[in-house]
Structure 1
Amino acid sequence: MLFLQKKIFLIPVLGLFVFSSCDSLFKEKTEKEPLARVGETFLYKEDIASFITNDMSEQDSILFVTNYINNWASKQLLLSKSKINLPEEKLKEYDLLVDDYRSDLYTRAYVEALVLQSQDTAITTSQLREYYEKEKENFKLNEKLVQLRFVGLPGQFLDKNQVIEKIKGWEETDKSYLDSIAVQFKKIHFNDSIWVSVTRVMEEIPPLTPLNEEKYLKKSQFFELQDSIGVYLGMVTDVLEINSTAPFDYISPDIRQLILNRRRLNHIRKLETEIIDEAIQKNEFEVYGKDE
């Protein structure tokens, strides 16, 4: 009897020791430090740690954490109330939407990763040109384009007349001269073979506005404009109006993106087909009730 009593006494003590040891052993790995609780939902310190940056002062950190906790609590309380007060049909509808959104996020990320791994992004100039010639009628300008050269001079620039002469002449000697004194200019654009939108030109030359650009941005037009910053001298070499066919050089970056998008869509369709075919072959996908 005494033996049995000792035996009965030792088992719970041993069990207590084992469970206490296990508890202390795993406590550091599993226990998280809570910051706040709403019902049975907890906000833990590790959930917010990544938002606290080294450049925050202690006061800023405290303020940020306080606001974060209050916003989190507000959302949790509203969520809890909504689950109680919204009709059951609405809750089911929203749950389905959430599930669909979650699935879309996962599958989209996975598909994009596969596409990036295997998509061919090399596009030759001849491919771009071929696409351009085929779709040329669809590439209409919705904004006026110009080719021009211009400089921005400080207000007190002494040699303005000579710069005007060189910009108008544009012989090799004129270009060399302007290049040699380019460090004195506030702004410079000598590549008059590229097409530039009027919006971009007005950003670079503030005295040009939608009200006066028609006057100054005409083919073979020289202009001189001034504001509080300085003087702008420019020579327009060519103009393309709205609804003109976009020039190849101007539109080629867009064509490249169009081709890549088309390849991407074709690749995704092919990928989806291959995934379904593979699942059918492995007997992982089956449709019931189809007529033979």
Structure 2
Amino acid sequence: MSAKPTCEALSNCYFCEMLSLQKNKVFLFVSIGFLVLSSCDSLFKEKVEKEPLARVGDSFLYKEDIASFIRDDMSAQDSALFVTNYINNWASKQLLLSKSRINLPEEKLNEFDRLVADYRADLYTRAYIEALVLQAQDTAVTRSQLRQYYEKEKENFKLNEKLVQLRFVGLPVQFLDKDEVSRKMNNWETTDKDYLDSIAVQFKKIHFNDSIWVGVSRVIEVIPPLTSLNEEKYLKKSQFFELQDSLGVYLGKVTDVLEINDTAPFDYIAPDIRQLILNRRRLNYVRKLETEIIDEAIKKNEFEVYENNE
């Protein structure tokens, strides 16, 4: 009787190959498991690594909380001083907050919590509404729309400052042809304008556009010898003036004047009217948006008001 063949003798033994494969798989899975656990442990350690600077009770101040406040131009000494002051201020606030929660009446704490919640909600909703308004608002306002609004509301546009139309130049103190400039500033013919334009580089200051309205406060800023005490004397309709200080000589001609409580001229008030129109559009859009949000929430059964049976 021949001997029973062993697995070693049979190179194509099916069960031996399967057993070998299973052993290799077990070894592979165990190896992968150790690798995964090792890498996860490393990841978790990196994730929770935060460097605390100070602690008050259960509250921590971390290095990353203060990092953005350290400027690049700070010296090491300035940075250290800033961090120390910041930590002390933070600790003081935390300690006072803790004391306040213990010592303030419950109703006060509840009131403050409501105020904080309301403020938080206002910040979020205001930012969201502003984003929607910027995306949807039409900012185009035609001159015709401005004029129409002006004519309708003209009686409400009263001046709170005296306005003037004028032309003026500022000359160096030693300017030789001052009399010639004065004469041409008064005449103001085309040839006079051309002449003054041709020598304008010699002037220290210049304003020839006498068709625009300018507030008296602005005129006083650019012509130093003029003050709130003497402007009544010099800033009168058809008045020509010559003023001087240590820096220069100022020659000017006032062509028109509007007093406080006069109706503001259209061109002067037009920028304000444009802003009023845009503000009104914005307000209407926000009202419409709020209405649409509530209507949509009611349709989706996300909002309902319960009847009060009392």
Give the TM-score of the pair, scaled to structure 2: 0.85
The aligned amino acid for 1:171 is E
Identify the match of residue 104 of structure 1 among 122, 145, 153: 122
Identity %: 83
Check if 1:153 corresponds to 2:171.
yes
Q: 1:229 to 1:127 in 2, by over 3 A?
A: same
**Corresponding position of 2:110:** 92
Query: In 2, distance between residues paired with 1:19 and 1:87?
Result: 51
The aligned amino acid for 1:181 is I
Query: In 1, distance between residues paired with 2:66 and 2:41?
Result: 26
Q: Deviations over 1:161-204 (max 9, x none)?
A: 11111211111121122122222222111111000000111111
3-state secondary structure, aligned to 1:246: coil
Q: Deviations over 1:218-244 (max 9, x none)?
A: 000011111222111111000000110
Check if 1:40 corresponds to 2:62.
no
Query: In 2, distance between residues paired with 1:257 and 1:251?
Result: 10
Which protein has the larger Cα radius of gyration, Structure 1 or Structure 2?
A: 2
Deviation at 1:67, TM superposition (A): 2.0
Q: Deviations over 1:91-119 (max 9, x none)?
A: 00000000000000000000110011001
**Corresponding position of 2:93:** 75
Check if 1:211 corresponds to 2:229.
yes
The aligned amino acid for 1:145 is L
Query: In 2, distance between residues paired with 1:214 and 1:82?
Result: 60
**Corresponding position of 2:238:** 220
Identify the match of residue 76 of structure 2 among 53, 58, 78: 58
**Corresponding position of 1:166:** 184
Q: Aligned Cα RMSD in Å?
A: 1.9
Query: In 2, distance between residues paired with 1:59 and 1:159?
Result: 61
Query: In 1, distance between residues paired with 2:246 and 2:72?
Result: 43
Query: In 2, distance between residues paired with 1:65 and 1:136?
Result: 58
Check if 1:263 corresponds to 2:281.
yes
Deviation at 1:32, TM superposition (A): 1.7
Identify the match of residue 124 of structure 1 among 132, 142, 164: 142
Identify the match of residue 250 of structure 1 among 262, 268, 271: 268
3-state secondary structure, aligned to 1:236: strand
Identify the match of residue 114 of structure 1 among 98, 114, 132: 132
**Corresponding position of 2:298:** 280
How many residues align? The count is 277
Query: In 2, distance between residues paired with 1:254 and 1:188?
Result: 27
3-state secondary structure, aligned to 1:24: helix
Q: Deviations over 1:214-273 (max 9, x none)?
A: 000000001111122211111100000011000000000000000000000000000001
Check if 1:175 corresponds to 2:193.
yes
Deviation at 1:59, TM superposition (A): 2.5
Deviation at 1:24, TM superposition (A): 2.7
**Corresponding position of 2:248:** 230
3-state secondary structure, aligned to 2:50: coil
The aligned amino acid for 1:37 is R
Deviation at 1:71, TM superposition (A): 1.7
Deviation at 1:64, TM superposition (A): 2.1
Q: Which moved more, 1:45-54 or 1:215-224?
A: 45-54
Deviation at 1:19, TM superposition (A): 7.3
Unmatched 5+ stretches in structure 1: 1-14
Query: In 1, distance between residues paired with 2:38 and 2:93?
Result: 38
Q: 1:44 to 1:16 in 2, by over 3 A?
A: farther
Query: In 1, distance between residues paired with 2:162 and 2:241?
Result: 18
Q: Which moved more, 1:238-247 or 1:26-35?
A: 26-35
The aligned amino acid for 2:236 is K
Deviation at 1:61, TM superposition (A): 2.1
3-state secondary structure, aligned to 1:234: strand
**Corresponding position of 2:258:** 240
Q: 1:154 to 1:270 in 2, by over 3 A?
A: same
Query: In 2, distance between residues paired with 1:91 and 1:252?
Result: 49
The aligned amino acid for 1:111 is I
Query: In 2, distance between residues paired with 1:16 and 1:66?
Result: 45
The aligned amino acid for 1:158 is L
